[in-house]
Amino acid sequence: MYRRFLGSPPRITPQLLTHLCTVDYRHRFALVALDPATGDGIAVARYEATGKGTAEVAVAVTPAWRRASLATALVEVLAEAALDRGIHAFSAYYLADNRPVTALLDLVGPRDRTSIREGFAEAAVALDRDSVTAAVENLAAGTSTTEPPRSMT
């Protein structure tokens, strides 16, 4: 939670829940992953448009499912959805030492810019249609490495 919210998580209010749970499938889009054994939610990846053709991206994965390539799969599919809806770049604001976020951003396209100040990084990534399409095709073909963590199987 600390890495996701860059500190303590915000106080959950009805307004915040409404904001996070309302999508229009164009400017605000979200994907949710469920545990196949229990049906519980285990991850969410979302974007929210911040300007013409740009959206802020965010991903959260429950600790037991980290290192299973789930965030990678979600971001790849999210990038494809974004491109299909006129979003051509993702931006992110994150803790500078959060290397998994940097790696995820590098998967979907080249970084247009990155700035680091006072322990926080801000990056903009141009979404690359060819890279995103290839990654999603690998997922669909079952050549992805996204599997439940060994501790859960």
Strand 41-51 to strand 54-61: parallel, antiparallel, or no bridges (unpaired)?
Answer: antiparallel
- CA–CA distance, 93 with 89 (Å, rounded to integer): 14
- DSSP 3-state assignment of 41? strand
Using an 8 Å Cβ cutoff, are 59 and 102 in contact?
no
User: How do residues 96-130 score in pLDDT, each as one tens digit?
Assistant: 777 777 777 777 666 666 677 788 888 888 898 88
pLDDT exceeds cutoff 90 at 77: yes
User: How do residues 14-64 score in pLDDT, each as one tens digit?
Assistant: 998 888 889 999 999 999 999 999 999 999 999 999 988 999 999 989 999
Question: How confident is the prediction for the chain on average, in pLDDT?
Answer: 82
pTM (whole model) above 0.85: no
pLDDT of residue 141: 82
Taking the chain, what is the end-to-end CA distance rounded to the nearest angstrom? 25
* Cβ burial 39-50 (10 Å sphere, 16+ → b, else e): eeebbbbbbbbe
Quote the DSSP letter at residue 61: E
* 116: β partners: 121
